[in-house]
Structure 1
Amino acid sequence: MNALKLYGVGDLRHEQVKPPVIDEENEVIIRVKAAGICGSDLSRYRKLGPYIEGMVWGHEFTGVVETVGKEVTHVSPGDRIAACPAIVCGKCEPCLKGVPSQCMNLTVMGSRQPGCFAEFTKLPAANVWPLPDAISDDMAALIEPSAVAVHGLYRTDLRPGGSMAVLGCGNIGLLSIQWARLFGAKTVYAIDMDPEKLSVAKQMGADVIINPQEKSAYEQLMEYTDQKGVDVAVESAGSPFTSAEVLALPCKGGEVVFMGIPYEGVRIERFFFERIVRNELRVYGSWNAVSAPFPGKEWTTTLHMMRTGQLNVRPMITHRLPLREGVQVFEDMLHKRDFFGKVLLYPE
C-alpha cells in the first residue's frame, strides 16, 4: 500500500509498505478516506524528526472499517468511522483516576506505531466508533483537532456571556474560536500576525481581530475591553513570546489555557509574570483530547455539534491533495509557498 514515512528532519518519503494485519482480537483495520496534516506534524518535520525512524506518519483521519478482530462487535466491515489516535494504557495511576490525558504511557498513532498517512491503518476497537451519515469525510478528518480544542476549554469556567481571546489562529486556535461561540461567549478576540488567518478567524466566529504588527496584542485588547481584559485567554501559537504575553490578557481572576507547545526556551518578562500573582490568574496546561470514559466528552460533543451543523470546520480547509503529493506539500508548507489552513490528504 502507499504510505508516507518519516525518516528524519525534512526526510519524508512516499513508499510502498505492507498493509496492517489483525494481531489481537480487539483490533480494527481501517481503510483511510481522508487524513489531515497537524501543526505538530509540521513541527516534527522541520525540527524534531520521528520518534522511530521510518515510521508511517499521521494521526488525524477518518475511514471505513476493512476488517475487525473476533472481539469487536460495535463496528463492522463497511462502517464509516471516527477515530481517536491516542493510545492509553488504562492501568497507570492517572488512567485509574479517570484522567487518561495524563496517562503515563500515552502515545499517539504515527509516533511509535503506524499512522494514517497510508491506505490502511489499525487501531484498538475502543478508539473507533460509527460515524453519523451527516458528517462528511472532510469534516470527520477534523474531529481529532476539534477534540483537542474543546478539551482545553472544558478545563475553564467559560460561561455564556463571557469573553475569550485566542492568541494564534492556527487550526487549534480557529477551532477554539468556534468552540468559544458554542460555549456561549459574548465576545471572542482573535490575535495573529497573518491577515489571511485572521480572515478565516472571522469566518469561524471571531468578533474582533487583532494584528499585533500594528500595536501589541496586550495594548489593543486593553483598549477593546476598557482595560479589564478577558475571562479566558488561550495560547495556541506555541511561540516563546506569546507564551509570555498571554498572561497579560485575562481580567482579574481570569484564566489562561496553554495549548501551543513552544520548541524554544520561554523567558517571561517581569510584567507578564506578575499578572499571574497580581490578577490571581488560574493557569492551565491542556494536553491531548481524551477524558473518561474513554475517549471522552470531547469526542461525543464534537460528533453531536458536527452532526447538527453547529460546528462548521469547512472554512479551515484550504487544500485537498492525493497522498502522493504529501512530500511536496510539507516542503511547500515549510517554505510558506501558499496560504495553508487545514490540508487534507487522500490515499489512492
Structure 2
Amino acid sequence: MKAGVLYGVNDIRYTDFDDPVCGENDVIIKVKACGICGSDYPRILKKWKYNLPAIPGHEFSGVIVAKGEKAQNVNMGDRVVAVPLVSCNRCDNCLAGNFSLCDNYKMLGADLYGGFAEYVRVPSTNVIKIGNIDFESAAMIEPLAVALHGILGIKPNIGDTVAVMGSGTLGQLVMQWLKIGGIYNIIAVDISTDKLNKAKSLGAKACINAKEKDPVEEISKLTREKGVDITFECAGSTVTQEQSLLVTRKKGKVSYLGIAYSDILLSEKAFESIFRKELTLKGFWNSYSAPFPGQEWYRSIDFLKNDLINLESLISHRFELSKIREAVDLVISEKEDYNKIMILPK
C-alpha cells in the first residue's frame, strides 16, 4: 500500500509500505479520510517518541475490507470510524472504567500504524459504525468526542458565561457543544481573525483578538469585573494557560483541554488566583469512559446523524495522501491560516 511514513523528525514521505495483516480479532479499514490533529504537528516536527518508521494519523474513518474470524461486531463493507486508543483492559484505571487514564494503552497513529495510509489494521472492538455520516465528518468524531469529554467533566450550567481561550478546531467544537447544552454567552479568544470569524458564525457573543486587545482586561469589562463562570483552555499556549486563571470568577472553574507544548511559569497574580478565588481546575485527556469507548463517542455520532453539529465547515484544507509532505509544509510555513486539514487517500 501507499502511506505517509515518518522516518525521523520532520521526515515524512509518501512511499510504499507493507500491507497490514488482519488478526483474528482485527479488521482492516480502507481509509477514506484522516484529519491532522493539533498534537500531530509537534510530534512530527519536533519530538516523535515512538518507534520508527511510523505512520501517524489517529482521526480517521473508512470502510471495512477484511475481518478476522472472531470479529463479530462488524461486517464487510461497513462504514466505520476508528477509536484510536487501544486500552489494556487490565490496569486499575481500565477496570474502573477510566479508559482515558489507562496505564498501558497503545495509540493508533503513534505506537501503532495510523491513518495516513490506504489501509489500517484496527482491533474490531475499536470501530463504530457511522451509518450515512460522510467520511470527512466521521474523521472528526475523535476531536468532537475530546471536546465533549471536557464539557461533561466540567459540568457547565444553563446560563453560564464561558470563555474559550483558543478558537481553533478544538475551541470551535467546544463552542458547538456549549450551545447544545444551553450555554449561549460565549466569549471567544484567539490571535487569528479567520478563527474568530468562524467562532462568531458558531454563536460566540463576543470575540477578542489577543493581538489587538488584552483578553484579561476585555473579559473583565464584559463581565463587569466578575470574570467568567468557566474557562476552557483549548490553545495549549503558555499565555492562555495563565490567562485562564485570571479571567475566571471567584469559585469559577477552569477546564484545561489544550496540550502543553512547553514549560509554564505563572505570575504571582495568576497563581494566587487559584486559591484566592478558590478556583476549580480540571484537566481532560482523550475522550473515553465506560462502557468503552464511552458516551462521548456515541453522543457525538448521534448528534452528527441528526445534523445538530457542523463539522464540514471546519475543514480549511484537503490534501491527497500523496501530498502529505505539502500538508506538513503548510503548517511549517505559517504563510496562511488553517483550521482542520484533511488527508484523503484515493
CA contact (8 A) 2:233 2:244 kept: yes
Matches within 5 A, 1:44-63: 44-63=43-62
Please list, as runs of the form range in 1=range in 2, the aligned pairs for 1:1-348 lying within 5 A after superposition: 1-23=1-23, 25-133=24-132, 135-348=133-346
Deviations 1:284-311 (A, max 9, x none): 1110111111000100110011111111
CA distance in 1 between counterparts of 2:138 and 2:30 reads 14
Q: For structure 1, list consecutive stretches of 5 or more residues without a partner in the other structure.
A: none
Q: Deviations over 1:259-287 (max 9, x none)?
A: 11222110000111111111111101110
- Is contact 2:34-2:59 (8 Å) kept? yes
State the alpha-carbon separation in 2 of the partners of residues 306 and 192 from structure 1: 26
CA contact (8 A) 1:200 1:315 kept: no
TM-superposed deviation, 1:50:
4.7
Q: Alignment partner of 2:46: what SS?
A: helix
SS at match of 2:188: strand
SS at match of 2:226: coil
Work out whether residues 101 and 291 of structure 1, in 8 Å CA contact, stay in contact via their aligned partners in 2.
yes
> Following superposition, which runs of at least 4 residues in structure 1 exceed 4 angstroms of deviation?
none
- What TM-score do you get using the length of structure 2 for normalisation? 0.97
Q: Which amino acid aligns with 2:106?
A: T
**Structure 2 regions of 5+ residues with no counterpart?**
none
By how many angstroms is 1:157 displaced? Answer: 2.0
Deviation at 1:201, TM superposition (A): 1.3
Query: 1:72: Cα distance to partner?
Result: 1.5
Work out whether residues 115 and 121 of structure 1, in 8 Å CA contact, stay in contact via their aligned partners in 2: yes
Amino acid at match of 2:10: G
Residue 129 of structure 1 and its aligned partner are, at CA, apart by 1.7
Contact 2:31 2:119 in 1 (8 A): yes
| 1:9–1:50 CA contact under 8 A, matched in 2 | no
State whether residues 184 and 204 of structure 2, in contact with CA within 8 Å, keep that contact through their aligned partners in structure 1.
no
CA RMSD of aligned residues (A): 1.1
Please state how far the C-alpha of 1:165 moved relative to its aligned partner.
0.8
Once the two structures are superposed, residues 81-110 of structure 1 have per-residue CA deviations (whole angstroms, 9 ceiling, x without a partner) of 122111111100111111111100123101
Query: Does the aligned pair in 2 maintain the 1:177–1:204 contact within 8 Å?
Result: yes
TM-score by length of 1: 0.97
Distance 2:256 2:309 in 1: 22
For residues 136-156 of structure 1, the C-alpha deviation after alignment (integer angstroms, 9 at most, x for no partner) is: 111101000001111111111
Q: Is the Cα–Cα contact under 8 Å of residues 184 and 203 in structure 2 kept in the other structure?
A: no
* Deviations, residues 31-78 of structure 1 (Å, cap 9, x unaligned): 000000111111112221251121111100100011111111221111
User: Percent of aligned pairs with the same residue?
Assistant: 38
Alpha-carbon separation, structure 2, partners of 1:7 and 1:270: 43
CA contact (8 A) 1:238 1:262 kept: yes
